[in-house]
């Protein structure tokens, strides 16, 4: 079976500080993709960042970086220099050829001014 676990239901961070959102995964596939999505209070789902299982470098997209530790099966999202607009739900997800796309239950991030 394939599974994504996000253990932090809610996180708080001060504006301009960095925050790490945790994600662990479980799969028997060797080839898979890991994704993070953002869902603001308006409800749309927005793709943030992707990491392939064979990628040697951690993915980065602007203020977002993915801390990929393959041996530990973790794919944490790091948001640097948090902004008020970063307040949202964040979902970790995984694709693998043998399994259907799987999402975690999400982490609610609140950025304080």
Partner 1 sequence: NAGVTQTPKFQVLKTGQSMTLQCAQDMNHNSMYWYRQDPGMGLRLIYYSASEGTTDKGEVPNGYNVSRLNKREFSLRLESAAPSQTSVYFCASSERRLAGEQYFGPGTRLTVT
Q: Does 1 bind partner 1 (CB under 8 A)?
A: no
Count of residues touching partner 1 (by CB under 8 A): 24
Q: Does 43 bind partner 1 (CB under 8 A)?
A: yes
48 to 107, contacts with partner 1 by CB under 8 A?
A: 50, 52, 91, 93, 95-97, 100-106
Q: Where are the beta strands (DSSP E) in 1-113?
A: 3-5, 10-14, 19-21, 24-26, 32-39, 46-52, 60-61, 64-69, 74-79, 88-96, 99-103, 107-112
Is 6 strand, coil or helix? coil
Residue span binding partner 1 (CB under 8 A) among the ranges 12-20, 40-48, 66-74, 78-86: 40-48
């Amino acid at each position: 079976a394939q599974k994504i676990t996000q253990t932090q239901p809610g996180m708080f961070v001060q504006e301009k500080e960095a925050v790490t959102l945790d994600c662990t995964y479980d799969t028997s596939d060797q080839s898979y993709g890991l994704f993070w999505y953002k869902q603001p209070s308006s409800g749309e789902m927005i793709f943030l960042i992707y990491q392939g299982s064979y990628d040697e470098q951690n993915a980065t997209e602007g203020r977002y970086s993915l801390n990929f530790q393959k041996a530990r099966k973790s794919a944490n999202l790091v948001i640097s220099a948090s902004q008020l607009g970063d307040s949202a739900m964040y979902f970790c997800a995984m694709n693998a050829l043998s399994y259907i796309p799987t999402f975690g239950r999400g982490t609610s991030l609140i950025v304080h001014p």
